[in-house]
Structure formats: C-alpha cells, structure tokens
Amino acid sequence: MPEQSNDYRVVVFGAGGVGKSSLVLRFVKGTFRDTYIPTVEDTYRQVISCDKSVCTLQITDTTGSHQFPAMQRLSISKGHAFILVYSITSKQSLEELKPIYQQVLAIKGNVEAIPIMLVGNKSDETQREVETKDGEAQANQWKCAFMETSAKTNHNVTELFQELLNLDKKRNMSLNIDGKRSGKQSRAERLKGKCSVM
Amino acid sequence: MLLLDGPALCTSTPSPLPAVHTGERPNMHFYYVGDHTWATMLGQSVRLQPVPIQSLSELERARLQEVALYHLEERDLDFKISIPREIHKRRKSLRRKFDSFSKEKKERESAPKAFGIPLSQVIANDRAYKRRQDALKESRRDCLDLEASILRFRAEKRQFFNGNKPLVGSSSLTGGGPMSPSANSVAPAPFFENQNKPLSPTFLDNSGRGQRRGGLSVDSISDLVESQSRLLEALQLSHPAELELKKSAGGGSTEGRTQTKLSLNPIYRQVPRVLERCCSHIETHGLQTVGIFRVGSSKKRVRQLREDFDVGVDVQLDEEHSVHDVAALLKEFLRDMPDPLLPRELYPAFLHSNLLRGADQLQYLQHLLYLLPPCNCDTLLRLLTLLHTVQSFAQDSIGTNDEEITGNKMTAANLAVIFGPNLLQREKGGDATPHGMGIEDSTAIISVTLVLIQNYKRLFTVSAELQQEVLMSLIQTDPDIIDYLLRRKLSGSHLTLDSSSESGGRRDTGVSLDSVGASSGSLSPLEPPSPLFPPDGNGSEGSLTSEVFLNVLKLNQNRKRQESRYGEASPGKSIRHMRQFHSHHNLLSLAQPSSSSSSSSRLLGHDPDAPDRRGPLGSALSFTMGSSSGGRGSCSSLSGSNDSNIWVRQTPQDDAKPSPATNFWDFFTGKGSGSETIV
C-alpha cells in the first residue's frame, strides 16, 4: 500500500484487556460491546480536516496480549501520535506502559514534539487500583497529557482524540471536516477542567 | 488385502526373532484377516483400535511419518512438504552435553537451558539435570554402601587377624583393635582415598547409571556405545537375537536416513520441564482467572522466572506465583523457540488447511501433525490439552454449591488469537515485510490454531486405517516386528478392556507398564512403579529395609531394560552396577530355574496377565535376595548384611566374565581370582 503523505497515524498501545479496542470502536463506530476478544491488529480510518484541507486519520489498534517487538517498533516508527491506555482497575497495566513509553522515546528521540496521551480507561469501574493523581503523576513524569475515560459510558472518548490532535503543534487538525473553529474552541474549553495539558 | 500365513512368515525368519520366540510354535504368528484385524492360528485376534499417538512405538511413529507424508504428497499440493528434520547440530550438542559433565561448572551454566534453544535441546537439558540429581542421590547411597562394605571388610579382616573374636559393633571398628594398630590406621586411609574420591566423579558423569529414556530418542545411545562397550557386549551375548532384530529394524526403515536404531517401545513423553510446570500451574490455579493468557504480567518477575529456568534451577511453581506471570512465561517459551512448535517448513502446509473443510481438514491436519518430530508432537499435545481445558472454563457457570463461578472469558477463539502467532511463524527472510506478513496470514494462523485447540483429541488419535497402513508398510521390510507389535497391542487391548477409562494423551496401561522402567523418576508424572511390588509381598522379609527394595526395584528395571531393549539400556559403568547386574542374574536363576525364556516372554506381554504376574516375580526376587543375604550376600547393601557376618565373594560365573567387580574385590582382599569365603 503506497504511503499517503496526508495520513495522520495514531497508534493505541496498552496491556491486554484494558479497553484499547473498546475506546477505538466507541470513537469510530460509537458503539460499545461487552465482549472479550483479543485484538491482533486493527486499523480504522476516518477523514478529518487538517490545515484547512482534509486528511485521513488512521487509528491503529494494537495487541496487548503478546508482544512482537518488530511489529511494535514498526508501529512506533510510523506513528505520529500515541495513546497509551491503562485500566484504572489494574496497577499492573500502568506498569506495562513503561517499557512501551521507553521504546517510543528510543525510536522517536525527542518526545516533546510528539503528541502522547496517557489514558486511564474504565473510569466507570468502582474497583479502582490506580488513583487519578497517580496517573497524573505518571503523565507529569513523561511530560505527556493525561485523561481518564470510559468507553462504556462514552466519557471523554471523543475529547481524547480531539485533544490528541490539538497536541500536535505542527498541524492544525480538527475532527470536523468543515473545521468549525467555534465548536473546537468550546470543546477545548470544556476539557480544561478534566485534563492537565503539559 | 494381504493374507500372510504363518509358514510364510516363518521361512523369512530363521534367526532374528526376539528371545520371546524361543519355545513358541510357528502358529503363534499373526496374519491379517481383513477389517483391521490380525489373528493367530490359536484364535487370538487383534482388531486395531484407534490409539493415541503416544502409545505407538518409536518404529511405528517413524513409519507413520512416512505414511502421513505419502498421503500428503498424494494431495498434490503446490508446495513442498517434507518431514521436518531435527536440527543437525543436535548430536554434536548432545555430545557436548555429555562432555560438559566433566568440565567446570561455569561453562555449563553460561548457556541458557530452557529458553531460546531448540526443543530437543531443552529436553536433553532437562534430562541431564534429572540425571545429575539422580547421580547425586545414587552416589550418596553408593558412598554409604561403600563405606559400609569397607567397614565391614575391616571388621572381617580384623576378625581374620584376631581369630574368632566376634564382631561387636561398628564403634569398635574405628577404635582400632589391640593388634597391629598400624595396619588399621594406615591401611584403610588409602582405601578411602582411592575408593571414595575417584568413585564419586565416576558416578557423577556416569551417563549410564541414572539414565532413563528421557527426552531423547534411542539414538543417543550411540554416544555411549564406545565408553560402555563392555556391558553392551555382555548384553549382546545374552540377547544376540534381539540385537539382530533391532539391526534389521533400523536398517529397514531408514532409507536415506542416518543409521539410527529405532525402539519397539513407545517413546517417552517428551515435554520440557518448564512447559509442563507452567501447564500444571495454570491448570491448578488459573482456570478461573479472567483473561488468563491475555492479561499482562510483571515483566520483572517473568524475567526472574526465566532466568531461574535458564540456569537450571529446579523451579517449583506454586500459588505464590501469579498465574499471569506463569502464562506469560509459557508464551515466552513458545515464542522464543528458534523453530516454533509447528516448524517453519510446514508453515505453508498448515495454512493450507484453511482451504479445506470438515473431516477432510481434520485428516489433513492429522497427517501434518504426524510429520512432527516426537518432541514437538508431545509438547504440542500437552499445550493443546491445557488450552482445551482453559477454554472449557470460559463461560460463567454454576458450581456445585450454587455459587457462581466466573468464566475466564478465554474461549478457544480468543486463545487461538493469542497462541496462533506463537505456534506458527513463517520462515524468516524472503519477501515478507514485517508488516506485510500481516492480516491475511494472521487470520489464517488463528483459524488453524482454533481447529487444533478444538479437535486436539481426535487429531492425536491414530486411526485403525493408518495403523494398518503402518503395519503393512512394516511387513514389507521387517516382518518379524509385526508379531511383537501385535502381541503388545493384544495385551494392551486386553488391559484396556479392564480399565476402560483412558485419559486423553496417556498411554494405555499395557504400554505404560512396558515403559515403567524407563519413566519412573523421569521428567513427567506417570504411574509410579509401585504396583510391581504389592505390599503383601514385603511381609516375608522383615529385615529388609526400603532401601533394599529400591535396589531390587532398580534391578528389576535394569533387567527389563537390558532384556527388552538392550539398545537404549543404560549400561552402568559403575562397579556396583555391574555387580548388581551379575548377582541379580544369579539370583534370578536361583529363583526361577527356567527363567531366561519365561521371564523374557513375559516381558513382551503377550500374556494378558503379565502385569499381575510381574508382581509375584518381583517379590519372589526380593524375597530371594532377602533370605539369601545372609548366605549369599553379594548385594552388599547396608541393611541386608546387618545380621550376617559371613561374606561371600562373587560367584564363579562372574569370574568367567571379566568384570570390574573382580578387580574391585581384589583391591580389598589383595588376592587373585578364585572364589573363597572369608569368615
């Protein structure tokens, strides 16, 4: 498949069973299913506006169950932005993000310019193992953005992707093709309270 | 249909029949009567039943590979299918393994022992480890034995010097007698130095001593042949016919292959220790864990576990270990094998199965699985058994006490997603870009794995038709073996009638009995050999401790191995071993005057009662040993000689056959040959 220059690739990483696919599916299709199916690798495409024209947002949903370093490296080197997902019900899943972050760091070199979002998913769950401040602390340490979401209740899902696009300073992207400035602004306003943008 | 009558078979077999055949009439031969049934003139008949592949003998399995290959080639596929070769370096590395016993420890521990090395190597390492443990145990016991015999010898010697002064106890030995203190204090010291020190290393690297049929196939024996030719010679003398049989078997079936000797016994179940441990841990602790195999693990703890296994630590997995760690370890083991469990060269062949449906697909996969080397086959079966168990707990269920048991949510499809890429990997290199390997292939990999998980039992059962083809192929090259195999199947079928419940991959009872000697104490759990010794048999010899029983048991096993498969028998180098071997024969001939033919024919188990009759034989033997330990104390175990101060040299037969035993005793007595009793 020929590389399309105007593709914007977002890669979703995270341990097995934290809800990567659920997040992506909620965003792309607006649905949520209580299934439990491991992913091999899925890619979804959506047309968004970018610098007053259109481009394709490509979301790669990776596998969390087994690591194939080669595939992971490839995803990282090709990705423009990264979503690192853990589950607030599992401390271990946050731990597992650390080597992935290190790898992004190693491959991309300078992560300052790269949009990375740390996401605590399953915020609807009551059996919390990772407090919000723990996630924030981790995000601070990594100098990346942080957000808590719930694919089940559709909490912060669209916001997550929009905010990720906003993080990219080189491009001016919006989920809406017509590029309504106002809508984007207001959404960004709305988000201010919920996420800490570094 | 091929009809073979007895005489026809008989003409072709003037010599190389196993010892069993002595005294048997030609109408005992089996001939094919159709419908997968073989019969003898005496009316015994064997109807071939589907059996698990593990119960087939090594020879049958080798032939099954060829039959399966033939069927696969008949399909006229557009890619090449071949029997996966084991890695060529194996033999060399095996030798290195053996050599390494004498080398320093450091070098041995530098190379990983479980991860990232070929499967056969892992199994060899496991076996080497096992053998080291055994050797340690044995050498400890040997030292005790030796010490005891030396002490006793000193006592006797003193008695000899002192006239008829009775032996008081071991404490008086060290005290030194009133006479010739110098003789006592000086002379024994070199004994200990000369005997104890050189002996222990010999025991340690004595590959024959603790050797059992472990992960390796028989051909590893060729590594031992040079060093242990003596006992082998002795064995050959005692069973030349069987040797011939073996040779013809090996020669006939190995066209285009190296001259390996193939056993007529089932291959010992070859599953790496690390995989077996992981599987049983998950079966014990992880079946109700949601997302088992999917949920991540602690990288640190997994690395620790991996390192432990790699340096050869005997890691015990218990409830302290997280099931997710163990699951990750298992996946890592599979993933890091240089050649995956389903070898790369069969990758296109396995993917091709997606184009087939239903019974055809299963048959095709079955043939492919039969091509696998035995260690891959056994390990795959173990893994699939686990996965099948895991997926059976996928759904929520109601327990016996009406409590709700949460399912692990790992259906066969989910497990296939996770294990597919670990089992099937395409050949490295070539045009495949890492990403291009992609989606089409991975869905194919997953669906193949799914079929494997769902149908593992059926896939690993060899149908009667295929067995028939194997036998038909064997009858063309090695007609003599057919009788042996069928006879065992006959005894096996009788046994299975009694014990109808036959667990999945296990061999049937008849077969496992046949290999008890090989498997006891080996890597994976099999039935303990205790039934050989019914408890009531012990009553008659109160003076015997369990140690003696162990010895007797070992003798029995040794004998069994030596007689039934001299090839991979473990000819012990150690002096004690030789003594046991010979003295055992003496005892046996005492116990059973007509033993040589009857006992060996019993071993082949054409008699359905064979397993039951083994018990009495064993106890009779041990009884003989026990009661004769006073008079004929050739077995110098601690307990057997406590109450006796008469000490007998080896019997004349032993002197006829030159053996280290003679030298051993001469070392003590300082005398030449000739049997004399020191009182």
CB B663 within 8 A of CB B608: no
The residue of chain A nearest to residue B293, with distances taken between CA atoms, is A65
Least confident segment among A55-64, A135-144, B251-260: B251-260
Of B294, B331, B417, the CB nearest to A17: B294
Tens digit of pLDDT for each residue in B259-274? Answer: 345 666 666 678 898 9
- Across all residues in chain A, what is the average pLDDT? 83
To the nearest whole Å, the CA of A103 is away from the closest chain B CA by 15
Amino acid at B402: D
Residue A11 pairs in a beta bridge with A60, A82
Higher pLDDT, A137 or B82: A137
Cβ-in-10-Å burial (0-12, 13-18, 19+) of A66 comes to buried
For residues B201-218, average pLDDT: 39
CB B370 within 8 A of CB B64: yes
**Contact assignment for A66 to B421 by CB distance below 8 Å:** yes
Percent above pLDDT 70 for chain B = 46
For residues B483-505, average pLDDT: 56
Cβ-in-10-Å burial (0-12, 13-18, 19+) of B135 comes to buried
For residues B565-587, average pLDDT: 43
Distance CA A166, CA B184 (A): 95
Residues of B in Cβ contact (< 8 Å) with A96: 296, 299
**Contact assignment for A66 to B409 by CB distance below 8 Å:** no
Tens digit of pLDDT for each residue in B112-130? Answer: 888 888 888 888 888 888 8
To the nearest whole Å, the CA of B105 is away from the closest chain A CA by 34
Residue A121 pairs in a beta bridge with A87
Residues of A in Cβ contact (< 8 Å) with B335: 66
Interface of B with A (CB under 8 A): 290-291, 293-299, 324, 331, 335, 409-410, 413-414, 417-418, 421-422, 434-435, 439, 442-443, 446
For residues A99-114, average pLDDT: 87
Higher pLDDT, A140 or B401: A140
Q: What is the pLDDT of residue B143?
A: 78
Q: Residue B581 pLDDT > 50, yes or no?
A: no
Higher pLDDT, B71 or A4: B71
Cα separation values, B539 from B99, B261, B412, B555, Å: 45, 42, 53, 20
Q: What is the dihedral of CA B124, B126, B127, B130, to 10 degrees?
A: 160
Percent above pLDDT 90 for chain B = 10
Q: Residue A11 pLDDT > 90, yes or no?
A: yes
CA torsion sign for B148, B150, B151, B152 is: positive
Residues of A in Cβ contact (< 8 Å) with B295: 15-17, 90, 92
Higher pLDDT, A178 or B154: B154
Q: Residue B507 pLDDT > 50, yes or no?
A: no
pLDDT band at B164 (very low <50, low <70, confident <90, very high): low
pLDDT band at A135 (very low <50, low <70, confident <90, very high): very high
Q: Does A66 touch chain B (CB under 8 A)?
A: yes
pLDDT band at A133 (very low <50, low <70, confident <90, very high): very high
Distance CA B7, CA B517 (A): 35
Residues of A in Cβ contact (< 8 Å) with B296: 15-16, 64-65, 92-93, 96
Q: pTM of the entire structure?
A: 0.61
Q: Is the ipTM above a cut-off of 0.85?
A: no
Structural domains in chain A, CATH included, are: 6-172 (3.40.50.300)
CB B533 within 8 A of CB B615: yes
**Contact assignment for B296 to A99 by CB distance below 8 Å:** no
Q: Which residue has the tokens 């498969």?
A: B565
- How many CA atoms lie within 13 Å of A56's alpha carbon, on the beta-carbon side? 11
Collapse the DSSP code of B42 into the 3-class scheme (helix H, G, I; strand E, B; otherwise coil) and give the result. coil
CB B623 within 8 A of CB B533: no
Cβ-in-10-Å burial (0-12, 13-18, 19+) of B141 comes to middle
CA torsion sign for B171, B172, B173, B174 is: positive
Q: What is the pLDDT of residue B439?
A: 54
The residue of chain B nearest to residue A36, with distances taken between CA atoms, is B409
Q: Residue B363 pLDDT > 70, yes or no?
A: yes
Q: Residue B504 pLDDT > 50, yes or no?
A: no
Q: Residue B340 pLDDT > 80, yes or no?
A: yes
For residues B480-494, average pLDDT: 74
Distance CA B274, CA B321 (A): 14
Of B488, B394, B415, whose CA–CA distance to B55 is shortest?
Answer: B488
CB B583 within 8 A of CB B634: yes
Structure tokens at B462: 């060899």
Residues of A in Cβ contact (< 8 Å) with B299: 95-96, 99
**Interface-testing mutation among B325, B330, B415, B435, with chain A (most A C-beta atoms within 10 A):** B435
Higher pLDDT, B141 or B644: B141
Distance CA B249, CA B476 (A): 11
- Across all residues in chain B, what is the average pLDDT? 63
DSSP designation for B572? -
Tens digit of pLDDT for each residue in B275-330? Answer: 999 999 999 998 888 889 988 888 889 999 999 998 888 888 888 889 999 999 99
The residue of chain B nearest to residue A16, with distances taken between CA atoms, is B295
Kindly give the pairing relationship between strand A116-121 and strand A145-148.
parallel
- How many CA atoms lie within 13 Å of B528's alpha carbon, on the beta-carbon side? 5
DSSP designation for B647? B
pLDDT band at A132 (very low <50, low <70, confident <90, very high): very high
For residues B441-454, average pLDDT: 90
